[in-house]
Every structure is written in C-alpha cells, then in structure tokens.
Amino acid sequence: MLKIRSHHLLLGPLLFLVACTSHPVIAPEPLKPDESYQGVVLSAENLAPQFVFRKGLGEQMDGGIRIGMFALQGSGVDLTFVLRDEGVRLHTLNLATTYAEQSSFEATYYNVSRKARSKTVRRDGKVFKQTETDVFNYGYLGLRYAYLPSGLWGDKIHLFGLLYGMNFRNNWGMELGYFHNFSGWPKVSEFGFNPKYAALTGISMRIWFGHLTKS
C-alpha cells in the first residue's frame, strides 16, 4: 500500500522503497476445485513484480499465494469464501496475511457483479450476438480492514477503506483503492511533520495478468 506523508514530499523515491506492503489478487468468483490461476501483479506498493497462484479448494472457496521477488516485497497467503450468491451478484469474504516491510493482516468484503459476455455468431447467413453460458467478466466493490502490527515508525496501524476492481475473462484485471489510517491522527499540538506518526492516507493501484487453467 502506497503511504503518503507530508514530510515525504521531499523523499519521493525513498517512499516507494520503504513503504511496501501488499494485498491479495483475488478471483472475484472463487475458483472451482478443477481450476487454477498463475499470473503476475504490478502495483504501486511494490517496486518489483509479484507472482500469484490461486487454486479452487471447494465449490465456494479458493486460496491464493503471492511470492515477492525479494524477501520483504509482499509475499503472502489468502482465502476467499462465498457468503451469498444472488445470481448476477455475489458476496464474498477474503482473509489475508502478508509478509513485507510492513506486514499486515486483512479482511475484505467484496460485492461482485457478474457481467455476462457475448460473442458474434454467424448462422444460416445471419450474424447475431450470443450470450455465453457461465462465462463472465466482473466488476467489484470492496470494503477492507487491515492491521499492520508495526509500521514504518514501529507504530500499530489500523486501515479501513474502499476499493474498486475489474476482472476480464479471469485472466487479467485492475484495481484502485483508498485506505485511511484512523490510528494516524497526530495531536493538534504536534500536527505537521513529526515522523513518528503513521501515514494519514494510503492508495493502492495495481494491474495483473495471467492464465486460468482447468484440470
């Protein structure tokens, strides 16, 4: 997660080097037991790419592993569970932990919209659109809480915020999120550039791509 501090305005390059944590790359609809996903994620919170592997663990649950290229570059594990399936809309919960410069524990609720896909079909000299059965693109809105036991200055951080993402053919997607650090408010008398206070805002921007396979 990209941390923005007022005193970091003069330390832009250093900010990216030291303020790295990470978040899971989900399948908006948990993968089935015969499905797996391998891919790469590029994000503002990590300089280096991460490798992602997801596997269906049941009809309504899948799990993921993220591997950073360096020891502290955002490796982690996560699980996603279906809470409720409403047909065109799906509600899921993701639980994740990350080992990074700022390690974290997260819980994220996702409200997922299934968007039916169609393809052009030519039949009997006529061209028309045909909706593909059980094949979707996805849009999703998430609410995330993250706990960082030790921030950049050794403080405990509580983040809460919103994210929005899109997933196409279960092969690639993008996500943008904003997370506020409610534990980072300084005392009025010390407001300003005191580095012992946690960041007041956090921005997450990422894109990923890979391949979905079925056994």
Which pLDDT tens digits describe the chain residue by residue (215 residues)?
544 444 443 333 333 333 456 889 999 999 999 999 999 999 887 778 899 999 999 999 999 999 987 756 678 999 999 999 998 999 999 999 988 777 889 999 999 999 887 767 777 777 767 667 667 899 999 999 999 887 666 678 888 999 999 999 889 999 999 988 877 655 444 555 444 444 445 788 999 999 999 98
Distances (CA, A) of 104 to 3, 74, 156: 14, 10, 10
- Residue 3: its pLDDT value, please? 44
Q: 37 lies in which domain range?
A: 2-83+94-111+139-214
In terms of C-beta density within 10 A (0-12 exposed, 13-18 middle, 19 or more buried), how is residue 123 classed? exposed
Asked if residue 179 belongs to a domain, the reply is yes
- DSSP helix/strand/coil, 160: strand
Report if residue 131 sits inside a domain. no
Number of domains, the chain: 1
| Within-domain flag for 177 | yes
Looking at the domain assignment, is residue 37 inside a domain? yes
Domain-embedded: residue 23:
yes
Residue 145 lies in a domain: yes
Encoded tokens for 168: 């196409």
Q: What is the pLDDT of residue 185?
A: 57
Q: What is the pLDDT of residue 156?
A: 84
The whole-angstrom separation of Cα 94 and Cα 10 is 36
10 lies in some domain: yes
Q: Is 118 inside a domain boundary?
A: no
Residue 19 pLDDT: 43
CA distances from 175 to 43, 48, 208 (A): 9, 17, 9
